[in-house]
Structure formats: C-alpha cells, structure tokens
Amino acid sequence: MASTEGHNRPDVDHEFERGLSAPREVRDALLKLRWHGVPTGDVLLVASELVTNVVLHTEHGGRVRAWNADPVRLEVHDTSSRPPVVKDTQPGGRGLRIIDAICSSWGTTILPTGKVVWAEFDRRSSDGEPTSI
C-alpha cells in the first residue's frame, strides 16, 4: 500500500526537528509500542535510517507515523519532493539497501508538500511463518 489511505489513526505520530538528536527521539517514541511478531530492532533501525536521511538531505525536520498492525507500517514525512536514491559506489548512502533487506516492502509517495518514505514489516510467528495479530 503506497499511502495511508484506509489506515486507522497511527499508534505513533511524532514530529521531529532537523538535528542530530532526531533519530534517537524517534526511536524513543517507537519504543512505547510492543512490536509482536516483528523484531523491534528492525523497526528501530529502519526508522533511524529514514530519519537520518531527512536530517542529512532536507532543510527541515519531519514526522514519523507508525501503525502496529499487520503489516506493521512506518512512514517518514518530509518537505523535500526528491525521492531517495540507492547509492552503490559512494561512501555512505547504503541505508536504503539495509532497509530493502529488512522490510517486507518499502517505497516513496510524492506529495504536493514533500514526500513520504514508507516501510512495511510482515509479522512472523515463532516458527518464522507470516501471521496476523
């Protein structure tokens, strides 16, 4: 799903300023939820990578929204309409490759006011099979 249409109110809705503390602030906000069936570290790593991209590549802060549903959905909103770019040969810029390896799916939705980079995580049972909440 490429947008939040049809999603209920997010379980986490946190605005952050452009600054070095933004990734930590977002991780702290997300830690208030229990992420059953999804490794918490994966959700926090993806959030940190996406928020760091906002801090490094935009002029303003942004907003993180998360739904503890099936699938778990994480969105990072910012005011830049430039889509993220996966880089192979430059130092840094590998965060999107990490995100691609961890998430079930991810993408970008361009909006009139900027963009949303979203990531989804399928829930897993103890035997590693997808499950619902």
Beta-carbon contacts of 125 under 8 Å, excluding residues fewer than 6 positions away, are 37, 131
At 79, the pLDDT band (50, 70, 90 cuts) reads very high
The verdict on residue 3 lying in a domain is: no
- Pull the structure tokens for residue 21: 């503390």
Q: Find the mean pLDDT for residues 92-114.
A: 89
How many domains does the chain divide into?
1
pLDDT at 54: 94
Q: What is the mean pLDDT of residues 69-86?
A: 92
Residue 1 counted as domain residue: no
In a domain, 7, yes or no: no
Q: Is residue 70 part of a domain?
A: yes
**Domain of residue 104, CATH code:** 3.30.565.10
Residue 133 counted as domain residue: no
- List Cα–Cα distances, 48 to 5, 6, 24, 75, 88, in angstroms: 24, 26, 7, 12, 20
pLDDT surpasses 80 at 131: no
Q: Which residue has the higher pLDDT, 2 or 106?
A: 106
- pLDDT exceeds cutoff 80 at 46: yes
CA 115 to centroid of chain Cα atoms: 12
Residue 19: give the domain boundaries.
Answer: 12-121
Mean pLDDT of 32-36: 83
What phi, psi does 45 have (nearest 5°)? -65, -45
> End-to-end CA distance of the chain, in Å?
18
Q: Is residue 43 part of a domain?
A: yes
38 located within any domain: yes
Q: 2 lies in a domain?
A: no
